[in-house]
Structure formats: C-alpha cells, structure tokens
C-alpha cells in the first residue's frame, strides 16, 4: 500500500461502503463519519464552513472522494435547501479545498441531470436539462466541481443498488416476500448498476491517474459515464430479481407472472423521472480500457451476498 491519503465522504452510504474496500490498495482511506462531521448540519452560504476546511487541512489528503449526497428524490421536491446543501454546496466546497491542498477530487452524479427525452444513449457532452430538484442540485454540484478543481473526476451513474443500504432490488425482495402481486413501472429504461462495480471502476481509474501522475490539463480528467452494460426497465429488472431469487431458494409470495407492468403516468410521485436513463460508457471503456459487465452480473452477485 502506498503512503497516499484518501479522504472519503459518505463512507456509510451504498457507494461509500463499497469504496472503503475498493480504495484500500491505493492508500490509507480516512473515512469521514457523520459523528465526526455531519454535512447536513453545515451552514448554508457561499463561504466554506470552518469545520469542513479544518478537517480537510488536518488530513492533508492526496485524494478526496465525495460519495455523500442527498438521494431522496421525491423528498427533495419539498426539501430543496437541504438537497442543495448536500448536492451542490458541499461538492463545490470540496472542489475548492482539493484545489487549495493539491488533492484530486472524485465526485458522483446521476442520470437525472438529463430530461430523458433523447432517443439513444446519453454521452457526456449531451445537453443537460434536469426535471427535478434532485437532478437540478446534482447538476449544480457537477458545475461547481468542474469550475473549482482542475484534477477532478465526475462519474455519472444510474439505478444504483448493492447489498448495503436501501435500493430497488432490496425493496423488491422485501415486497416479494410480503405480497403476491405487484405493479411495476415498465416505460423507464436504464442500467441497474451495483455499488461494487462503481467502487471497483473508481479505484481502477484513480490508480491510472495517480500512478501515471496525469497532468491537470489532460482530458482524461472530467466527466465519465459509469453504468453496467445492457439496459432494462424497472418491470423487467424486478422480474429478473424474482426469477433469480426463486432459483436461489428465497421464499417469495410473488412470482414473475404475478407482477403487472404499468406506465409512469399511472404511478404518481413528487419528482419527475427520466424515461430514458441510458448512459453511453464508450469514453470510460476506451479511455481507461475497462470492461463493464452486464447489469445481471451485479444483480446475481448482490442476491448471492444477501442470501449468505
């Protein structure tokens, strides 16, 4: 292990939890817990909060990884101040602190920065047009990071799941054990992406950038789309989860035949969802030589981990 220091924010979240393991070979991972500094309690405003500044300067990290975010998409519609603090202000402050201390910054964003109306897959340079408070604040965060830190990596991802934390896959397993029929949205398309895959790819890309001492002006810094290969709907995703879970011996009331596809319009929620969440990963694959497994591989792995 090198003597690098990696300061990890959001270490107890889905992606953060997976990053603790994935980043360990790259250096000493300093995990920031809510008990040490509750980001949600930082003062709102333009100035970098003293507590945050003091913490970063005391650690003197070589890398700052920000896996902290406000991810309650519907609640954000009525809690915009808190969503903006965590998704826009904090990333901007961390970008400034990274630039100040000579660290590079890794940050995560979302398919929600797009409106979901494109026919094909979204590339990194496509125009953004968020349709929700969550998407708008995540875009603000992206812009703040890009404006303040030369050596930054922003990974846009989608439909994140894992063995740790709450997510669609685990919700389906819970509901599948409680109910014998479910109605699932079938007209939103994306790629379910495991937290473990996000963490592994982050570590691979970071290792390349750090080991090769990539210059701040190099175009490999910037935004990359990071999702599993393939695409599916929430409905087909749920059906796959139930089929696999049944094969693995989960005791379910629901069957793949007892779930009904419904339209987004028939499932009213506070925040508008993109119908097309497909992100093009050619830049990531070609620039860094990384193979991305199908989304089904991640689902199989998480189901196996949850069954053990």
Residues 6+ apart with CB under 8 A from 204: 288, 290
Q: Enter the tokens of residue 178.
A: 């409680």
**Terminal CA-CA length for the chain:** 30
Pair 240, 296: CB distance under 8 Å: yes
Pair 256, 243: CB distance under 8 Å: yes
* Positive/negative CA dihedral, 285, 278, 107, 168: negative
* Positive/negative CA dihedral, 82, 87, 89, 90: positive
Q: Decide the pairing of beta strands 182-185 and 222-225.
A: unpaired
Pair 11, 164: CB distance under 8 Å: no
Asked about 108 being catalytic, the answer comes back as: no
Closest CA to 7 of 69, 71, 58: 58
Q: Among the options 112, 134, 237, 240, which is catalytic?
A: 134
Residues annotated as part of the active site: 134
């Amino acid at each position: 292990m090198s003597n690098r220091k990696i300061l990890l924010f959001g270490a107890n979240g889905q992606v953060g939890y997976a990053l603790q393991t994935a980043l360990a070979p790259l250096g000493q991972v300093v995990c920031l817990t809510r008990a040490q500094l509750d980001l949600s309690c930082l003062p709102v405003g333009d100035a970098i909060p003293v507590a945050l500044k003091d913490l970063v300067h005391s650690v003197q990290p070589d890398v700052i990884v920000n896996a902290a975010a406000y991810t309650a998409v519907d609640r954000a519609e009525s809690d915009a101040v808190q969503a903006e603090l965590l998704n826009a202000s904090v990333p901007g402050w961390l970008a400034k602190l990274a630039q100040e201390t000579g660290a590079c910054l890794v940050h995560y964003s979302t398919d929600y920065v797009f409106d979901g109306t494109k026919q094909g897959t979204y590339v990194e340079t496509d125009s953004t047009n968020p349709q929700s408070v969550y998407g708008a604040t995540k875009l603000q965060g992206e812009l703040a990071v890009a404006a303040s830190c030369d050596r930054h990596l922003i990974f846009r991802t989608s439909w994140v799941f894992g063995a740790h934390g709450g997510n669609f896959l685990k919700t389906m397993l819970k509901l599948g054990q409680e109910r014998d029929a479910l109605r699932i949205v079938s007209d939103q398309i994306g790629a379910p992406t495991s937290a473990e895959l996000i963490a592994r790819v982050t570590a691979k890309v970071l290792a390349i950038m750090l080991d090769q001492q990539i210059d701040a002006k190099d175009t490999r810094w910037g935004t990359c789309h990071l999702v599993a290969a393939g695409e599916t709907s929430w409905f087909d995703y749920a059906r796959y989860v139930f089929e696999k879970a049944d094969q693995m011996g989960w005791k379910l009331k629901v069957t793949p035949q007892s779930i009904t596809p419904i339209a987004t319009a028939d499932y009213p929620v506070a925040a508008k969802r993109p119908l097309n969440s497909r992100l093009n990963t050619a830049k990531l694959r070609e620039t860094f030589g990384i193979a991305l497994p199908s989304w089904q591989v991640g689902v199989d792995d998480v189901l196996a981990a949850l069954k053990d």
